[in-house]
Structure 1
């Protein structure tokens, strides 16, 4: 059974991820992933392995995402065993002011590795479409998510 310490350790990985992003430190960012991790972006790119994730972020941090900050909000943590956690959350990048509504839905799968450290084994990022959500919720009210966010 997971402990409060496990929950804190998983949350600490995500906090470290945000800190690495905000410092534009691709190496620190990459170290938070397993060697064989997968990383699906909201545009559909699939990076495979820590090296691929690290190098793609090195390019992003010096180019397209230069000077951005990362906002992350944990919606829930579910343990699937003593060494596996699935984190549901919302996130977004920004430059000056943190957005009030985070525009992406994210899923992290973390595992506790042999060295006792929790690392991200899989990450999936999906862009929210608030207008499409609102339309679908209005047309089919049964689609509103459990949190009631419309």
Structure 2
């Protein structure tokens, strides 16, 4: 169970990222990342630093991701100390209604700097649920303990 009193400032970062995304505001989106943040997309593209993340999203919001928004669901928040947290979520980029199943799993490493939570590292992975089911069927011990 997630302690919402403690995690609210961390999870609010995702909501704010989604709001900036929906506006197509690359500068606001990028402002949620540390100066030296690492950002890995589901296709494996790696961006390094706030400016690289901002610039790439400026182009993406003008072309491929124009008119989209983010849908997300927080799975877990784990604190590594008072100023560091790892957040895992399911998410997706959507146009129109939220999909029934969010197809990506995301990991955010957040740090608190000057009282503000920022993303220091982000990794986005496309979930392959069919491959998961096949793996679990042939090797049941590969199923995560929480899903048993």
Whether these two folds match at TM > 0.5 is yes
- Across the aligned residues of Structure 1 and Structure 2, the Cα RMSD in angstroms comes to 1.4
Q: Provide the secondary structure at the position in 2 that maps to 1:137.
A: helix
Aligned partners of 1:142, 1:5: CA distance in 2, in Å?
35
1:46-65 paired onto structure 2 within 5 Å: 46-65=46-65
Structure 1, unaligned runs of 5 or more: none
1:142 corresponds in structure 2 to 141
* Residue 84 (structure 1) aligns with: 84
| 4+ aligned runs moved over 2 Å, structure 1 | 3-6
**Equivalent residues in 2 for 1:49-128 (5 A)?**
49-113=49-113, 115-128=114-127
Count the aligned residue pairs: 146
Q: Distance in 1 between matches of 2:34 and 2:99?
A: 30
Cα distance change, pair 141–85 in 1 and its aligned pair in 2 (3 A) = same
* Structure 2 unaligned spans of 5+: none
Once the 2 structures are TM-superposed, how far is the Cα of residue 60 of structure 1 from its aligned partner? 0.5
- For 1:5 and 1:148, locate their aligned partners in 2 and report how far apart those are by CA, in whole Å: 26
